[in-house]
Amino acid sequence: MATSTKPVIVDQEKRQAPAIQGQVARSAQVEQPIEDETAHFDKEGLLVRAGGDWEVVNLIMETFLSDLSDRIRELRKAVEDANPEEIRLHAHSLKGTAGIAGAVALQELLRKIEARVPEGRQGEKKVLMAWIDKEIEQLAPILSRYLEA
């Protein structure tokens, strides 16, 4: 099976996202039980997309985390404003990034938001945003373990 990859471009200034990286750091301090991390994070798929190079894996995860806070904020604003074009744009873009980073549950939630845009189901989009917040809480300790390893 062929794997499609997109280039990872790292902007040194964007590598710092205090909100998300702080969440990762806090979650590393308090060990949280994770029932099945593969439901949240596809480590094997990410490693394949990174060509088997753990340095590239770390770079992808760092870039994903550094951009995540701003991108979630943009999506949340689009949902609150009920702006279908912006919802579609931000959900689709973040869905792809989550997929590259191996954040499979987050990717699926973003797919659901994107699918509901034409239907105008605003209430469901707000519920999905709450689920996205919960997923990020569950994903943060998983990613922190791999970044520290």
What's the number of domains the chain is made of? 1
* Residue found under tokens 């509901």: 116
User: Is residue 7 in some structural domain?
Assistant: no
CA distances from 74 to 88, 125, 129, 132 (A): 11, 14, 12, 13
111-145 confidence digits (pLDDT tens)? 988 888 777 776 777 888 899 999 999 998 888 88
User: Is residue 2 in some structural domain?
Assistant: no
User: Is residue 8 in some structural domain?
Assistant: no
85 contact partners, CB below 8 Å, separation of at least 6: none
User: Is residue 101 in some structural domain?
Assistant: yes
At 47, which CATH number? 1.20.120.160
Low-confidence winner among 7-11, 56-60, 76-80, 144-148 (lowest mean pLDDT): 7-11
- Domain assignment of residue 104, given as a range: 17-23+38-148
At residue 35, the pLDDT reads 58
User: Is residue 28 in some structural domain?
Assistant: no
User: Is residue 29 in some structural domain?
Assistant: no
User: Is residue 53 in some structural domain?
Assistant: yes
**Does the pLDDT of residue 68 top 90, yes or no?**
yes
Distance, CA of 92 to CA of 85 (rounded, Å): 11
User: Is residue 138 in some structural domain?
Assistant: yes
